[in-house]
Chains A and B, each alone.
Chain A
Amino acid sequence: MPELLDVQGLCVDYVLPGGAVRAVDDVSFTVGRGEFLAIVGESGCGKSTLLFAVAQLLAPPAEVTAGTVTFTGANLVGLTDKELAGVRWRNMSVVMQSAMNALNPVKSIGAQFKDALRAHGVSERASVRARSAEVLKMVGIDPVHLGSYPHQLSGGMRQRSMIAMAMLFTPDLIIMDEPTSALDVVAQRALMVQIKELQREFGFAIIFVTHDMSLVSHFSDRLMVMYAGQVDELAATRATFERPRHPYTRGLLEAFPSIRGPKTPLRGIPGNPPDLATPPSGCRFHPRCPYVVDMCKTKEPELYPADDSMVRCLRIADGSLT
Chain B
Amino acid sequence: MTELIRADHLTRHFKIGNALSRRTLHAVDDVTFAIGEREIVALAGESGSGKSTIARLLARLYSPTSGTITFAGRDARTFRSRKDHLRYSSEVPMVFQDPFASINPVFRVSHGVLRSLKLHRPELSGAERQAEAERVFDVVGLKPDMLQRFPYELSGGQRQRVGFAQALAMKPKLILADEPVSMLDVSIRIGLLNLMAKLRDSEGVSILYITHDIASARYVADRLIVMYAGQIAEQGPIEDVLSAPKHPYTQLLLSAVPDPRAPLAEVTDRGEPPRVVDPAPGCRFRWRCPLAIDTCQTVTPVLADLVPGHEVACHVAQSGAEVKAFVS
Contacts and interface: CB of A to CB of B under 8 A. Distances in A.
Closest 3 CB pairs of A and B: A187-B271, A268-B190, A217-B260
Given A186-B267, A189-B258, A267 B242 contact: no
Contacts of A183: 271
B47 interface: yes
Nearest to B261: A258
Contact of B186 (A42, A187, A218): A42
B157 A272 contact: yes
A184 interface: yes
Contact of A211 (B186, B218, B267): B186
B188 A217 contact: no
Contacts of A268: 187-191, 194
Contact of B270 (A187, A253, A272, A273): A187
A255 B258 CA distance: 14
B257 interface: yes
Contacts of B218: 257-259, 263
Contacts of B190: 255, 257, 266-268
Q: How large is the interface on B (under 10, 10 to 19, 20 to 34, 35 or more residues)?
A: 35 or more
A282 interface: no
Contacts of B272: 154, 156-157, 187
A301 interface: no
A285 to B, nearest CB: 11
A295 interface: no
B43 interface: no
Interface of B: 46-47, 155-158, 185-191, 193-194, 212-216, 218-219, 242, 252-262, 264, 267, 269-273, 328
A186 B259 contact: no
A157 B271 CA distance: 10
21 contacts: A155-B47, A184-B47, A185-B253, A185-B258, A186-B252, A186-B253, A186-B267, A189-B258, A189-B267, A190-B267, A212-B186, A218-B264, A241-B260, A255-B186, A255-B189, A256-B215, A259-B254, A261-B261, A268-B187, A272-B157, A272-B158
Contact of A258 (B185, B255, B259): B259
Contacts, number: 130
A241 B263 CA distance: 13
Contacts of B273: 154-156
A269 B188 CA distance: 6
B284 to A, nearest CB: 15
Contacts of B328: 259
Nearest to A181: B182
Q: How large is the interface on A (under 10, 10 to 19, 20 to 34, 35 or more residues)?
A: 35 or more
B270 A156 contact: yes
Given A155-B47, A255-B189, A256-B215, A186 B256 contact: yes
A298 B79 CA distance: 63
A212 B328 CA distance: 20
Given A156-B271, A186-B271, 10 more contacts: A156-B272, A157-B272, A185-B256, A186-B252, A191-B271, A218-B264, A255-B190, A257-B193, A259-B259, A268-B188
A257 B190 CA distance: 8
A213 interface: yes
A42 B185 contact: yes
B268 to A, nearest CB: 8
B327 to A, nearest CB: 13
B116 to A, nearest CB: 26
Interface in A230-265: 241, 251-253, 255-261, 263, 265
A58 interface: no
A103 B131 CA distance: 50
Nearest to B269: A186
A254 B223 CA distance: 24
B270 A190 contact: yes
A213 B257 contact: no
Interface string A170-200: 0000000000000111111111010000000
A251 to B, nearest CB: 6
Given A185-B257, A189-B256, A214-B260, A257 B188 contact: no
B219 A188 contact: no
Given A187-B271, A188-B271, A189-B267, A258 B215 contact: yes
Contacts of B212: 184-185
A117 B212 CA distance: 38
Nearest to B265: A189
Nearest to A43: B185
A315 to B, nearest CB: 20
Given A43-B185, A261-B261, A273-B185, A184 B267 contact: no
Contact of B269 (A157, A190, A266): A190
A140 interface: yes
Nearest to A238: B260
Interface in A40-78: 42-43
B115 to A, nearest CB: 27
Interface core residue of B186, B272, B273 (most chain A CB under 10 Å) = B186
A257 B219 contact: yes
Given A184-B47, A185-B257, A266 B219 contact: yes
Contacts of A261: 261
A183 B212 CA distance: 10
B191 to A, nearest CB: 5
A140 to B, nearest CB: 7
A263 B190 CA distance: 13
Contacts of A185: 46, 212-214, 253, 256-258, 271
Contacts of B254: 259
A188 B256 contact: yes
A289 interface: no
